[in-house]
Amino acid sequence: MECRICSGRLRPFADFGRQPVSDAFVAPGDPGPEFFFHLAVGVCADCSMVQLLEEVPREKMFHDGYPYLSSGSAVMREHFAGVAERLLATELTGPDPFVVELGCNDGTMLKTIAEAGVRHLGVEPSGGVGRRAAARGVRVREGFFEAAAAAGILAEDGPADVVYAANTLCHIPYMDSILRGVDTLLRPGGVLVFEDPYLGDIVARASFDQIYDEHFYFFCATSVRAMARRHGFELVDVERLPVHGGEVRYTLARQGARTPGPAVARLLAEEEAARLTEPATLRAFASRVAANRDSLVALLEGLRDEGARVCGYGATAKSATVLNYCGIGPDLVPFICDTTPAKQGRLTPGSHIPVREPGAFADPYPDYALLLAWNHAEEIMAKETAFREAGGTWILYVPEVHLMGA
Ligand code: JHZ
Ligand code: SAH
Ligand code: ZN
């Protein structure tokens, strides 16, 4: 097995077995059979990049029916409004600036840019969510970003001041084509800004459900700096973010164009001190994950045997790994409530748990709710205070299995 970045040797460290496409919710009339792949992760002995060992064809994940909506969380809507304001104030200050977002989804970030009257383009292969962005006044190019697409955008719109991507770059195995495309598209002093789940947080919290088909790479400063340098870029800034269970925002500029800020050296030193990308650290992570799986299954089986009423909250992509790796089906979690229209009335991939509308949660409240959208815990618990007041208990499994009741 070869590293997708540098062709170095991959050392496998965790295996989640046979898994479905995480956002492929099964509709009642779907002909089947479902697509499965082998979900396992390794670390490159040469460049330290942590990555999946098997790649799912991109068209199986990102297509017209892709269900995830960035606007589904109030905290994320605020986060992306803040990102847009910041780009406008710091990077988009020249005459007639131009920003390109990769994976703009339903336009949650670019909407603010469009409202400011700034030239922009969202690149989005999933047609359904892209049309939602267009309906909000965002200019969208349907298709996958890659080197060829970059040349097309440059010809039509000229060079970009910023290429921005949230929760998208880590989804793209063909990074060589992406970084060549970014190099084509960016003006000489331009920057690539991207934010993705941080390996340091995944290891610290044992948040193994960040590992699923769409998340191909698990970035950290060490591996991103090496990746950037292969393409003539330098890592010039990093910023830790609290969203989605812990992310880092990386800023890449062309080598020599900007002096790296002090946060870069600090994070690199922290990663080295923690031995973050060493196989022993990653194998220890894998053992904690297996122990957490066993205690989650034991808890849910115990609750079923005592006749407690349980449901799931948030039919996340992440939950595909939890449910399929732990073998949790409708006997343990009879249904999951979720606000996403395209998930409701369907079954979770592989585990076949029915997804219902949010109203099903309180009708009546279950005794226990498995919080599969744990990254939105604060937002969800704040709006669902009545659940605990009614005697309900949340089940969380990050950083280990624990209960939050009245
Ligand atoms: P959420 C997706 O992951 C896929 P998921 C992707 N690979 C990625 O990286 C991240 O997004 C960015 C629902 N919900 O954000 C909505 C409620 O029902 O954790 C969503 O279906 N009630 C691109 O799917 C799900 O939960 C609520 O109050 O793991 C949350 O999904 C809230 C706040 C959410 O991402
Ligand atoms: N940026 C949003 C959406 C993340 S979902 C957020 O953070 O909430 C990931 C998005 O990346 C999906 O909408 C998917 O269609 C898109 N995507 C996948 N591969 C891509 C590629 N090669 N170029 C551009 N977008 C891509
Ligand atoms: Zn490598």
Q: Give the tens place of pLDDT for each residue, 22-49.
A: 999 999 889 889 999 999 999 999 999 9
Protein residue with least CA distance to atom 8, ligand 2: 70
Question: What's the residue count for the chain?
Answer: 406
Residue to probe by mutation, ligand 2, list 87, 136, 171, most atoms within 8 Å of CB = 171
Sign of CA dihedral 121, 126, 131, 133: negative
pTM higher than 0.85, yes or no?
Answer: yes
pLDDT category at 260 given cuts 50, 70, 90 is: very high
* Interval between CA 284 and ligand 3 midpoint (Å): 21
Is 194's C-beta closer than 6 angstroms to any atom of ligand 2? no
Looking at the CA of 342, name the nearest ligand: 1
Closest C-alpha to 113, from 131, 132, 133: 133
- In terms of Cβ atoms closer than 10 Å to its own Cβ (0-12, 13-18, 19+), residue 403 is exposed
Alpha-carbon distance 386 to 329, whole Å? 27
Q: What is the pLDDT of residues 359-391, one digit of tens each?
A: 999 999 999 999 999 999 999 999 999 999 999
Q: Is 162 helix (H, G, I), strand (E, B) or coil?
A: strand
Closest CA to 241 of 214, 219, 215, 216: 219
Residue-level pLDDT at 406: 77
Residues with CB under 6 A from ligand 1: 68, 72-73, 167, 214, 244, 314-318, 338-340, 343, 358, 373, 375-376, 379-380
pLDDT at residue 351, as a whole number = 98
For ligand 2, the distance from its centroid to the CA atom of residue 101, given in whole angstroms, is: 9
Q: What is the pLDDT of residue 179?
A: 98
Residue 138 Cα to ligand 2 middle (Å): 15
Exposure on the CB side of residue 253, measured as CA atoms within 13 A: 15
Q: Tell me the DSSP string of 310-372.
A: EEEE---SHHHHHHHHHT--TTT---EE-S-TTTTTSB-TTT-PBEE-GGGGGTTPPSEEEET
Beta bridge partners of 12: 42
Look at ligand 2, atom 17, and give the residue with the nearest C-alpha.
103
In this predicted model, what pLDDT tens digit does every residue of 320-337 receive, in sequence order? Answer: 999 999 999 999 999 999
67 lines ligand 2 (CB under 6 A): no
**Alpha carbon of 219 to ligand 3 centroid (Å):** 12
